[in-house]
Amino acid sequence: MQKLTIVKIGGNIIDNPSELEKAIKKFALLPGLKLLVHGGGKIASEISERLNIKPNLIDGRRITDEDSLEVVQMVYAGLINKNIVANLQKYDCPAVGLSGADANSLLAHKRPVKEIDYGLVGDLDQVNSDIIRKLIEIPLVPVFCALTHDGKGQILNTNADTIAAEIGIALSKYYKVTLIFSFEKAGVLLDIQIEESLLPKLDNETYKKLKSDKVIADGMIPKLDNAFRSLENGVKEVYITNFNTTELENKVKFNGTKLTLV
């Protein structure tokens, strides 16, 4: 089995031009087969505001109505995705930008309405690993934005961490997958204020305990849930890290927190 590295970069990198430039260069220089998933950052909110589209919040939750989806589609698939792709080409990385509608790669359904109607938000049903493999083997480097589709003509907004995890799981049947969840911190911190409290390793049992003790909370929980789920379902290695601290000299070394299973 060949190795495949999947890197997910989030808003903190997308919103910062010099960090984004660094991440693009690092990703382009990563040896071997690879795939990028990117989030959206704050640009979509800024464009919404300039277009005078009011954020639709219910109980503090952001609802993706039709106008918001248009903005997200423009910003994720048009502005950010094509900027990343064009800049990867600069480093001879044969990137191809994709939404989940492209090549029917990511099928989802609109999240069912329970207490809240989230609007045009998609829960992933199927990663078309056949087509993604064919693209990788051309060889191309897929660059996914956080959009899926329902197969009936509707684009849907889907969490980028979930997309990265599910692509990782689906492709782990064919590749030895390393999955990197990049974010603004050095990794999982015991005290969010103190960089020195970085955990170099974190296993699933310790994670459960830290979660019930409320040491790990908020946005870290869905991220780590995605990360551990991918590790439990075929992905070989998972790191929570700031991707830009990756060392590429001699041998690739991902810093941050390495997740393990007990």
Distance separating alpha carbons of residues 19 and 21, to the nearest angstrom: 5
Binding mask 93-122 for its own copies (x = CB under 8 A): -xxxxxx-xxxx------------------
| Shortest Å, Cβ 163 to its own copies | 15
Q: Of 85, 120, 165, 167, which lies in the binding site for its own copies, with binding defined by CB under 8 A?
A: 85
Tokens of 13: 């990198």
User: Does 155 sit near its own copies (CB under 8 A)?
Assistant: yes
| Shortest Å, Cβ 191 to its own copies | 39
| Shortest Å, Cβ 89 to its own copies | 5
Distance separating alpha carbons of residues 197 and 215, to the nearest angstrom: 12
Among 29-37, 70-78, 108-116, 163-171, which window interacts with its own copies (CB under 8 A)? 70-78
User: Does 70 sit near its own copies (CB under 8 A)?
Assistant: yes
Q: Of 31, 32, 151, 219, which lies in the binding site for its own copies, with binding defined by CB under 8 A?
A: 151
Q: Of 78, 200, 219, 222, which lies in the binding site for its own copies, with binding defined by CB under 8 A?
A: 78
List of residues 6+ apart from 147 with CB closer than 8 A: 72, 73, 76, 77, 99, 100, 101, 155, 156, 157, 158
User: Does 74 sit near its own copies (CB under 8 A)?
Assistant: yes
| Shortest Å, Cβ 74 to its own copies | 4
Backbone angles phi, psi at 98, to 5 degrees: -135, 140
Among 152-160, 163-171, 202-210, 245-253, which window interacts with its own copies (CB under 8 A)? 152-160
Among 56-64, 112-120, 147-155, 248-256, which window interacts with its own copies (CB under 8 A)? 147-155
